[in-house]
């Protein structure tokens, strides 16, 4: 049975809600663990500044290493998923994240942190092609929009949980024990997924005996794939700024405490989660996904630019920054539906691997670029630059729409 057969069967038969819900929950947990890993290093930036005497540029380079490894690995992981299935790569990824947390708890300097960043990036690489292959194969067609919404929601919850988990434990014990606790968390997640592994099984794409490498790469000639890639690259630069530098920016511009700034980042992620939940219903009832995405990214860019001005004062700026997460979150499920429309049959892993590697490229470039701004004290300019990147992503989304509308 091919993935196409599974998809058609799912669409044609009544699949029990409990079956779909169980798969969605497991994939969501895996996605949350991936997003949790994105913040394992940035949340400790203020600590590393003092502990190891690092600059913002050096800290930004850590995230560049993380997402360069993740992006390269993600593009390759898509091919592997199509060949051997999603489940083996999922367990390998969780194991790598666990090892990275243990390595972080023992780090003694900058080189150790670079190694942690590389391990985290390698562990993070396979999640999107793995997750979307499982969802597209195993979830019934009428519930796919809601599955994408739940997928995005759990990712945002993973981001939201990281500050509370890591900063909370480090304030009670130490940052090293916080990383050890994160390793234990990944071990528990791996155990749960292992016990429910039957729900994560996918079928590989059957290849014709005469198939060539060129045929496998044919999807890369489609312009719409690169428009999708560009959208992810640009929109993710904004998120990278918020994740990596918003805490330091709020402390520098408004003199708030580390705990207050961390709560603002958590609020941003929680608002994003609420937005994704709302966006799932929007995506399920909207035909032109790219228009929803363009509108949401435009509002997010506006809110971020307003945050840079500080015109609303300390509390108002933090509220508007959190509202940016809400606007972007609402567009999340429509974004995933937009990518689905651009994906040729039988190439789910490869397309999602390449397209979502744009996310990693954006995450890799932004800390390196804006870290230099931070070292010069151009804090408001960092937020304005992030707003500009998000505004440019609107044109990429509309470009995808022009090439997928029929």
Which helix (DSSP H) or strand (DSSP E) does residue 261 occupy?
Answer: helix 258-284
User: Could you tell me which of 144, 405, 131, 135 has the C-alpha nearest to residue 283?
Assistant: 144
In this structure, the number of other CB atoms found within 10 A of the CB of residue 47 comes to: 15
Q: Which residues, given as ranges, of the chain have pLDDT below 50?
A: 1-12
- Sign, CA torsion 65/66/72/73: positive
What is each CA distance from 263 to 85, 102, 158, 382, in whole angstroms? 39, 26, 15, 20
Would you tell me which CATH number, out of the four given (1.20.1250.20, 3.10.20.740, 3.40.1360.10, 2.40.37.10), belongs to the domain 17-201+219-400? 1.20.1250.20
Contact of 290 with 397, CB cutoff 8 Å: yes
Domain spans of the chain, in order of start: 17-201+219-400
- Confidence at residue 146, expressed as pLDDT on a 0 to 100 scale: 81
| DSSP track, 77-144 | HHHHHHHH-SHHHHHHHHHHHHHHHHHHHT--SHHHHHHHHHHHHHHHTTHHHHHHHHHHHHS-GGGH
**What span, in angstroms and rounded, lies between the C-alpha atoms of 67 and 60?**
11
- Confidence at residue 181, expressed as pLDDT on a 0 to 100 scale: 97
**What span, in angstroms and rounded, lies between the C-alpha atoms of 188 and 199?**
18
**What span, in angstroms and rounded, lies between the C-alpha atoms of 52 and 12?**
59
- Confidence at residue 8, expressed as pLDDT on a 0 to 100 scale: 40
- Confidence at residue 277, expressed as pLDDT on a 0 to 100 scale: 84
Secondary structure in 3-state letters for 134-190: HHHHHCCHHHHHHHHHHHHHHHHHHHHHHHHHHHHHHHHCCHHHHHHHHHHHHHHHH
Q: What is the DSSP letter of 52?
A: S
User: Could you tell me which of 126, 127, 101, 125 has the C-alpha nearest to residue 115?
Assistant: 101
20-66 tens-digit pLDDT: 899 999 999 999 999 999 889 988 988 898 889 888 888 888 988 99
- Confidence at residue 346, expressed as pLDDT on a 0 to 100 scale: 58
**What span, in angstroms and rounded, lies between the C-alpha atoms of 370 and 63?**
12
Which helix (DSSP H) or strand (DSSP E) does residue 27 occupy?
Answer: helix 17-38
Reported pTM: 0.72
**What span, in angstroms and rounded, lies between the C-alpha atoms of 93 and 126?**
7
Residues in the chain: 406
């Amino acid at each position: 049975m091919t993935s196409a057969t599974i998809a058609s069967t799912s669409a044609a038969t009544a699949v029990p809600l409990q079956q779909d819900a169980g798969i969605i929950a497991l994939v969501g947990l895996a996605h949350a663990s991936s997003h949790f890993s994105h913040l394992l290093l940035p949340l400790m930036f203020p600590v590393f500044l003092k502990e190891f005497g690092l600059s913002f540029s050096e800290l930004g380079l850590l995230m560049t290493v993380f997402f360069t490894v993740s992006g390269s690995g993600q593009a390759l992981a898509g091919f592997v998923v199509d060949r051997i299935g999603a489940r083996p790569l999922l367990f390998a990824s969780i194991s790598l994240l666990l090892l990275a947390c243990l390595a972080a708890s023992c780090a003694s300097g900058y080189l150790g942190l670079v190694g942690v960043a590389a391990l985290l990036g390698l562990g993070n690489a396979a999640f999107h092609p793995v997750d979307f292959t499982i969802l597209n194969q195993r979830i019934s067609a009428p519930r796919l929009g809601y599955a994408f919404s739940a997928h995005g929601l759990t990712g945002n919850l993973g981001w939201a949980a990281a500050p509370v988990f890591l900063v909370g434990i480090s304030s009670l014990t130490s940052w090293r024990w916080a990383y050890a606790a994160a390793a234990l968390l990944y071990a528990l997640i791996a155990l749960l997924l292992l016990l429910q592994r039957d729900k994560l099984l996918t079928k590989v794409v059957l290849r014709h005996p005469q198939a060539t490498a060129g045929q496998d790469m044919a999807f890369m000639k489609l312009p719409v794939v690169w428009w999708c890639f560009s959208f992810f690259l640009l929109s993710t630069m904004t998120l990278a700024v918020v994740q990596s530098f918003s805490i330091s920016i709020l402390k520098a511009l408004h003199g708030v405490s580390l705990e207050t700034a961390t709560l603002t980042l958590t609020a941003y992620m929680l608002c994003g989660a609420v937005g994704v939940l709302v966006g799932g219903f929007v995506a399920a009832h909207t035909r032109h996904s790219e228009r929803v995405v363009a509108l949401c990214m435009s509002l997010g860019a506006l809110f971020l630019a307003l945050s840079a001005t500080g015109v609303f004062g300390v509390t108002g700026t933090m509220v508007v920054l959190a509202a940016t997460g809400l606007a972007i979150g609402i567009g999340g499920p429509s974004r995933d539906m937009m990518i689905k429309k651009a994906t040729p049959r039988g190439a789910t892993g490869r397309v999602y691997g390449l397209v979502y590697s744009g996310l990693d490229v954006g995450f890799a470039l932004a800390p390196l670029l804006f870290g230099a701004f931070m070292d010069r004290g151009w804090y408001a300019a960092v937020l304005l630059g992030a707003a500009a990147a998000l505004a440019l992503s609107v044109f990429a989304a509309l470009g995808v729409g022009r090439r997928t509308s029929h």
